[in-house]
Amino acid sequence: MNFKSRVLPELRATLEQLPPLDLPNDLQLFRSFPLQEAEKSPHVATRNQMIAGPSSNLLLKIYEPVNRLETALPALLWIHGGGYVLGHPDSDDALCERFVVDTHCVVVSVDYRLAPEHPYPAAIDDCYAALKWMAATSELNIDLTRIAVAGASAGGGLTAALSLMARDQGGPAISFQMPLYPMIDDRNATASSHEITTNRSVWNRDNNRAAWGLYLGEHASGTIPPYAAPSRAESYEGLPPTYTCVGQLDPFRDETIEYVARLAQAGVEVEFQMYPGCFHAFELAAPQAEVSRRASKGYVEALNRALNPQKMRG
């Protein structure tokens, strides 16, 4: 059975319209594609904030409820995807606004440095700087006991890495993490990494190998730190409660399943959902499909339960 025949019928048309990606050859081409502007929510105020990063100023995009009260709100650090080599916070405007509206939180989206111009550890260092700024600043008026971290694909990998780093460095405290179909294993040794090879699948084995090489840079031929590839961490003990999901036709399927199992074995509360017939980042590529609405509703509700436990119990 070929890849296309395994994809849910409601997703096939979108898959056929997506341009195939060939890394590293198409990197600059894909970076030049204009972003689709999302319809702005009247309930969300958005602003850009520059902070001091590890090597230069770092752009954060901040989303918060319009006319918010003085009460401290929970907060989410959102980390965009793109294989560690692509992406920008602007591409996730609609999703970040949805988080604000549906979970009544403040969202900070970080414009971390991209490889290959800035290989590991630039991206994770930027994300850690953003997390530390969130916890230290009084500008956001957030509840420091309710800070979550989330991201998709490479953003999910950085989410998992950031949770490890915050645990090992003694903070800032993360109350919940949501690494969605995370890019966390550089070895490309799982069955699903060998299974998804077509370039008509959003992300495949060849692009994954190329992206990891660009991201790891000089580390690629040496010992890979767990803050680069979280699958290599010796222990997941002490990590925050976790939600994740993945499509069954995603090359990250098996590393996600292994991650979930190891979290559970380490005593971490973890919730997991797999979607048959769905390729990598399907809910972002085809947001109006029924399965996409179901998937995004699942993780938005998981975030809401984590950030507003008293409201959910009430």
Residues labelled as active-site residues: 153, 250, 280
Amino acid (1-letter code) at residue 275: Y
**DSSP 3-state assignment of 25?**
coil
The identity of residue 139, as a single letter, is E
Q: What is the DSSP letter of 219?
A: G
Helix (H) or strand (E) holding 142: strand 142-152
List the structure tokens of 132: 């530390």
**What distance in Å separates the CA atoms of residue 100 and residue 269, rounded to the nearest whole number?**
24
Amino acid letter at 217? Answer: G
Length of the chain: 314
Question: Which residue intervals of the chain are DSSP H helices?
Answer: 3-6, 9-17, 27-32, 93-103, 122-136, 154-169, 191-195, 205-216, 253-265, 282-285, 290-307, 309-313
CA dihedral over 226, 114, 191, 8, signed as positive or negative: positive
The amino acid at 144: L
Q: Which two tokens stand for residue 57?
A: 């100023």
Strand partners, 149: 77, 177
Q: Which residue has the tokens 């003085």?
A: 70
Write the CA distances from 122 to 97, 108, 167, 231, 268, integer angstroms: 27, 18, 19, 19, 28
Pseudo-torsion of CA 207, 211, 212, 213, nearest 10°?
Answer: 100
Q: Is 216 exposed, middle or buried (0-12, 13-18, 19+ CB in 10 A)?
A: buried
